[in-house]
Amino acid sequence: MAISVGSTAPDFSLKSANAEGLAKDDFGFSTVKLSDYRGKKNVVLLFFPGVFTPPCTQEMCTMSEALSDYKDLGAEVLSISVDSALAQKVWSEKENIKVTLLSDYEKKTVKAYDVVLPDFLGMGEGSKRAAFVVDKEGVVRYAEVTPTPPEQPDFAAIKSVLEKL
């Protein structure tokens, strides 16, 4: 069962090739930690199955267009998949994705949030499509795992929760 509302969100430290405004290492990657936002911003965490798939491209392009709405609500949007940061970089450049993409290549974060997709397109474990809102104190205020990987999260419900924080 995925992390539930009222729980403390598990921290993570993941690599990103497209994070804006963060220091980059010698290979061009930034390290993003959930705890870096504690006391500063609410966070929308979007887990998605895989880069270059039509539902995931639709979700991230839609979110890229709506990023200013989430920023206006005081939230940072972070998206997590088990793809490599290199694959995420190529995908984000091809599709003009502005959402910060985080690589959970070792699958530690999808396991911590209990959103493992047991078999993604015959390629082994991946990530279910899921959405969490984590408040400034690190508490989960919204949790959703979609019934099937192609289904999109309820973005209106996510915004409604953010409006109340």
Q: Is 61 marked active-site?
A: no
The tokens for 107 are: 């699958």
DSSP H or E segment with residue 38: none
What does 82-148 look like in DSSP terms, one character per residue? SS-HHHHHHHHHHHT--SEEEE-TT-HHHHHTT-EES-STTSS-EE--EEEEE-TTSBEEEEEE-SS
Catalytic residue among 14, 56, 77, 162: 56
Q: Which residues are catalytic?
A: 56
